[in-house]
Amino acid sequence: MADVHDVAAAVIARTGPESPMKLQKLLYYAQAWHLAEHGEPLFDAEIEAWRMGPVVRSVWDRHRHQNRVEAWDEGDATALTPRESQLVASVVARYGGFNRDDLSAMTHDEEPWQRARAGLPDSEPSSAPLSRAVMAAYFRRQVTDPLTAAAEALASVHIEGLQVSADAVTAAERVRNGELSTDQAVAQRIEALRGR
């Protein structure tokens, strides 16, 4: 298992100087995709459900007074295995083009952050940890076939007693029917959130 600071160093090595909030979200997505693809955590540090989205407190403690993270001297990007490095590269390729606010909005719309916050308003503080099992299941659904993913997601939501918006169901059906790619659905959701 990698050290979270080595993962942070690998992210910054790929993105260049970055906002602390964006670094946090990229760490979250790296952990989530590693859980989904390999069934085990990338790093051991907990991810907490803060107001602005998922946060690794031990990383936050080191960048808390910075407006921009230029480098991550606490970690060593070369300490990652080739598989870990490849996963970080794929996460940066997938999410690196989004700004920190887009990434924060995306995490607020995802089940792992929502479940950890257990209905708290976005404005309320929380240090509740995100469930690794929920992260793994949620992100694993992103790579299963669309029909199975949609069925699993809706079943999970109903079991938890949560509601799914009509827009989300319509978008899922359009992805399932091949009318829209997952990336297009995410982009449309981000645009809708910006319009709020």
Tens-place pLDDT, residues 111-154: 999 999 998 998 999 999 999 999 999 998 887 666 676 676 67
Domain boundaries, the chain: 4-143, 144-196
User: What's the whole-number mean pLDDT along residues 86-109?
Assistant: 95
What pLDDT is stored for residue 146 in this prediction?
A: 63
**DSSP string of 22-87?**
HHHHHHHHHHHHHHHHHSS-SB-S--EEETTEEE-HHHHHHHTT-SSB---TTS-GGGS-HHHHHH
* Full-model pTM: 0.76
CA separation for the pair 13, 108 (Å, rounded): 26
Estimate the crossing angle of helix 100-108 against helix 182-194, to 10 degrees: 100
What pLDDT is stored for residue 104 in this prediction?
A: 95
The first and second tokens of residue 35, run together, are 């859980």
pLDDT of residue 195 exceeding 70: yes
